[in-house]
Amino acid sequence: MRNRNYECYFQRIYERDEVRPLSSTFLKVRGNEIGDILEIRARIVGPTTDAKGRLAPAVLHIFEIIVKQACWRDFEETLEAIQNLRNVEYERFGAYLSFTREAGSGNNFDFVLGLKATSASQVRTKAYFSTDRWLATNPRNVSANFILMDPLGTPISANCAQ
């Protein structure tokens, strides 16, 4: 069986000159044919900041949603570094998160959240905890970009262990 990857893109340009965007947000989600998300990448160019140089709440909210949907509580502590536009790289049990300033660019930032089961123990752990092994498949007719929200607009679709 052939392994197929699928990708979705989103880009919003806020300001541009004749050559390139001066302020923009780009998001790419890569997954497989059964709907598993394998990697999320983002690039922010010339992000809006507050008076203290912190990332604007609207842009930070993108990263908060991604981290909370991943249900990896260790990654939540990276949000402060992201808010303050500081480089942070974090890897735990085959999952990784990276937020870094683009080399040679003063105001461009790259974000990556993904799975990287490379060692034998990580591959075994991923296989052991796979949804095929533990969860009965129940196909639902729900679009891939559907996120449940509570009355305050906070995503609640992630079923994280408490």
User: What's the pLDDT score for residue 135?
Assistant: 57
User: What's the pLDDT score for residue 158?
Assistant: 52
User: What's the pLDDT score for residue 44?
Assistant: 93
Q: Are 78 and 91 in contact (CB under 8 A)?
A: no
- The band of 94, judged by pLDDT with boundaries at 50, 70 and 90, is confident
User: What's the pLDDT score for residue 137?
Assistant: 52
User: Tens of pLDDT along 13-40?
Assistant: 888 777 777 888 899 998 888 777 888 9
User: Tens of pLDDT along 117-162?
Assistant: 666 665 666 666 666 655 555 555 444 444 545 555 555 455 555 4
Stretch among 19-23, 49-53, 56-60, 75-79 having the lowest mean pLDDT: 19-23
Query: According to the per-residue pLDDT averaged within each range, which of 56-60, 67-71, 140-144 is highest?
Result: 56-60
User: What's the pLDDT score for residue 128?
Assistant: 63
User: What's the pLDDT score for residue 18?
Assistant: 78
* Mean pLDDT of the chain, nearest integer: 77
pLDDT(109) > 90: yes
